[in-house]
Amino acid sequence: HLGQVFITLPTIYTDLYQLTKFTCEGGGKKAVDEPAMCLVCGRILNAGNKKASGVFTNAAGECTIHARSCGAGLGVYFLVQQCQVLLIRGSRGTYWPSLYLDASGEVNEQRGQNRPLFLSAKRYKKLEELYVNHQVSKEIVRKRSSAETVIRMDWF
């Protein structure tokens, strides 16, 4: 292992949420509707295939485009609003479990309990190991082949 590859995330989910509400692209502060944070470089992108006007397009989403330059087509993002990880390879993507869990080690799946969520160092390390050991593509294929629903190509 070459040491830490991914960025350092806040321990508490609400701190991450506050950090990702805005992006400072182009010299000004811009609100982000559905923030996705690149876990390699920390850049905040708009998740989903939607232009600023709110119209969905057939073009590749910001995460797919960013993955081409940041990770040679491979992307690992934290979808802040959905509180889960997005893995991308080329035009295909899949979800990976949340990095933030409550005190009892469970994911708060919006059941009405507003329990604080904390970064699971164990899950984050496992995700980083997938990335470092070049297993993300394999994980995407595995998850997509067993998922009830799959993410449309280039959606993110």
Q: pLDDT (tens digit, 9 = 90+) per residue, 58-99? A: 678 899 999 999 999 999 999 998 899 999 999 899 999 999
10-14, 141-145, 146-150: least confident range: 146-150
Q: How far is CA 135 from the centre of its chain?
A: 17
- Residue 79's SS3 state is strand
pLDDT at 112: 47
Does the pLDDT value for residue 146 go beyond 90? no
pLDDT at 99: 95
Does the pLDDT value for residue 54 go beyond 70? no
Question: Which is more confidently placed, 139 or 110?
Answer: 139
Q: Which two tokens stand for residue 43?
A: 């850049």
pTM of the model as a whole: 0.84
pLDDT at 33: 79
Token look-up 């992307």 returns 75
Does the pLDDT value for residue 22 go beyond 80? no
Neighbouring C-alpha atoms within 13 Å toward the C-beta of 70: 23
